[in-house]
């Protein structure tokens, strides 16, 4: 005789609607694997009259999702609305306080409120699961919490945003501009149609990096002012130049411990073409973990979309149904520490820069003086004159320099009268 467990799904958009169908179609399989009979007893979305691609009884539709979070009949609540605060935070908070397990795909919510919500889950002895918030279908969080539970991990590097990876890969393969490829990504549903800003500017990746850091380093979720640059300023010219120099451009999220301090960053990187991560293309995500004693582990898979995301949500559901009641971040809230932040100004790195200058005598020497003034030495300089416009495009690869010197260099270059267009810069990363 199977035990009955009742589910409420809040949010029936791309993810919620796919999950609804997934649970119904796998009901029998779930019963066999867990001994539990699951029932979807409540659903909620903003608009009850919206045309949806699945049939449901209006009797189970709650106009106000707060009542799902409070309903004593519900055992597990899925929060699939989105946003870091507001209604999504409210329903998760209420559900946990009412001793319901919560499963969410909402990285913004977890990156901002994960500490508070996880302590609430622990207090009420229920689960807060968020596998779908990082890496889509890649079971990265469960791998860290369970498969690699006793490893000491010192660095995680990832391609964590499928939209950005698609855009950068497609610009290279189609030799098309950033704007055109972004438009294509929006048509294909890979980028938000209205406002793709949070994907492109690195914010989405940073939220995932913060969640990963908390898991691998057992720290409270950091609120630091991290090093974050997006891909909005990458032009086809940079993609072509990277190709010529045997590099590929990727937006990476990186978290590591340097001198016992936490360094989290998100920025476009020039990576040697023959490396593993440089060959993760399209909407794929990938994560590289370095741990002891395991060594290096690589995980790759589709990073977003209803299929991979619902796969992760279902794994959270089955984990709960199997009675795996555990700490949301792998250890008790009180044991999680606050790790001091690494001073990003001290970070040592090499850079690629591209900028246009007036093509006239003396300009190049004035530019190289700016580098000397900022104690940055040039490794490679490529000059491409544009006779028609009397300008020249300059590409420079530097030797390693401190972030603070580099920032001052960029400031000086952008204020130099001979520089016609603000410089594009990309960090060169050894992965
Ligand atoms: N899409 C992906 O590939 C992906 C991947 C990983 C994680 N996620 C995360 O999954 C979550 C859901 O994403 P999504 O793409 O499914 O978003 P979506 O398509 O925009 O769906 C959002 C849902 O929330 C509902 N909603 C909005 N306001 C509401 C309110 N006041 N009361 C009740 N329901 C309300 C909407 O109702 P209506 O349907 O009536 O408008 C809609 O059903 C987000 O946290 C997102 O970050 C998404």
For residue 164, is pLDDT > 90? Answer: yes
For residue 54, is pLDDT > 70? Answer: yes
Across the chain, mean pLDDT equals 95
344 carries an active-site annotation: no
- Cβ of 132 below 6 Å from ligand 1: yes
Identify each DSSP E strand in 12-63 by its residue range.
Answer: 36-44
For residue 51, is pLDDT > 80? Answer: yes
CATH domain 3-133 topology: Rossmann fold (3.40.50)
Q: How far is the CA of 80 from the centre of ligand 1 (A)?
A: 5
For residue 88, is pLDDT > 90? Answer: yes
Mean pLDDT (whole number) for 311-332: 95
For residue 1, is pLDDT > 80? Answer: no
- Cβ of 163 below 6 Å from ligand 1: no
Q: Does the domain made of 344-428 have the CATH classification 3.30.70.260?
A: yes
For residue 204, is pLDDT > 80? Answer: yes
Residues 6+ apart with CB under 8 A from 361: none
Rounded distance, CA 294 to CA 291, Å?
5
Mean pLDDT (whole number) for 44-51: 95
Q: How confident is the model at residue 431 (pLDDT cuts 50, 70, 90)?
A: confident
pLDDT at 48: 94
- Cβ of 19 below 6 Å from ligand 1: no
Task: Kindly give the interhelix angle for 107-123 and 203-217, rounded to the nearest 10 degrees.
Answer: 30
β-bridge pairing 3-10 and 76-79:
parallel
For residue 201, is pLDDT > 70? Answer: yes
Q: Up-side HSE of residue 323: CA atoms within 13 Å toward CB?
A: 5
Q: How far is the CA of 234 from the centre of ligand 1 (A)?
A: 29
For residue 2, is pLDDT > 90? Answer: no
Q: How confident is the model at residue 192 (pLDDT cuts 50, 70, 90)?
A: confident
Mean pLDDT (whole number) for 137-144: 96
CATH of domain 140-302: 3.30.360.10
DSSP per-residue letters across 228-239: E--STT--HHHH
Mean pLDDT (whole number) for 163-179: 97
Q: How far is the CA of 101 from the centre of ligand 1 (A)?
A: 19
Q: In the 8-state DSSP scheme, what is residue 335? A: G
Residue 87 structure tokens? 């209604």
**Domain residue ranges in the chain:** 3-133, 140-302, 344-428
Rounded distance, CA 92 to CA 113, Å?
10
Is 0.85 topped by the overall pTM?
yes
Q: 124: closest CA among 360, 328, 303?
A: 328
């Amino acid at each position: 005789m199977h035990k009955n467990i009742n589910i409420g799904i809040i949010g029936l958009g791309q993810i919620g609607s796919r999950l609804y169908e997934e649970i119904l179609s796998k009901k029998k399989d779930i019963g066999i694997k867990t001994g539990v009979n699951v029932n979807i007893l409540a659903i909620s979305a903003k608009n009850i009259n919206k045309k949806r691609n699945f049939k449901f009884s209006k009797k189970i539709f709650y106009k106000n999702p707060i009542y799902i979070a409070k309903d004593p009949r519900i055992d597990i609540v899925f929060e699939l609305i989105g946003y870091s605060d507001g209604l999504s935070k409210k329903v998760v908070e209420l559900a946990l306080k009412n001793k319901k397990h919560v499963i969410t795909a909402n990285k913004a919510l977890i990156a901002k409120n994960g500490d508070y919500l996880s302590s609430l889950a622990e207090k009420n002895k229920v689960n807060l699961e968020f596998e779908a918030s990082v890496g889509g279908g890649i079971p990265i969080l469960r791998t860290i919490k369970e498969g690699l539970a006793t490893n000491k991990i010192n660095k995680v590097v990832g391609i964590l945003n499928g939209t950005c990876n698609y855009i950068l890969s497609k610009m290279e393969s189609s030799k098309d501009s950033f704007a055109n490829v972004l438009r294509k990504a929006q048509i294909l549903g890979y980028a938000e149609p209205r406002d793709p800003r949070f994907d492109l500017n690195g914010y989405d990746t940073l939220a995932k990096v913060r969640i990963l850091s908390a898991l691998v380093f057992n720290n409270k979720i950091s609120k630091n002012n991290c090093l974050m640059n997006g891909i909005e300023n990458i032009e086809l010219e940079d993609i072509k130049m990277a190709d010529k120099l045997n590099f590929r451009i990727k937006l990476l999220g990186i978290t590591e411990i340097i001198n016992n301090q936490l360094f989290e960053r998100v920025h476009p990187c020039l990576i040697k073409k023959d490396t593993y991560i440089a060959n993760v293309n399209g909407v794929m995500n990938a994560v590289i973990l370095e741990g002891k004693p395991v060594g290096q582990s690589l995980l790759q898979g589709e990073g977003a979309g209803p299929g991979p995301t619902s796969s992760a949500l279902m794994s959270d559901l089955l984990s709960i149904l199997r009675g795996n009641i555990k700490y949301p971040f792998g250890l008790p809230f009180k044991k999680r520490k606050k790790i001091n932040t690494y001073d990003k100004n001290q970070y040592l790195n090499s850079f690629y820069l591209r900028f246009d200058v007036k093509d006239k005598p003396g300009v190049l020497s004035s530019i190289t003086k700016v580098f000397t003034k900022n104690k940055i030495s040039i490794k490679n300089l490529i000059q491409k004159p544009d006779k028609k416009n009397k300008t020249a495009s300059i590409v420079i690869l530097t030797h390693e320099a401190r972030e603070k010197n580099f920032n001052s260099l960029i400031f000086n270059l952008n204020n130099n009268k001979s520089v016609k267009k603000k410089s594009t810069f990309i960090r060169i990363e050894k992965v």
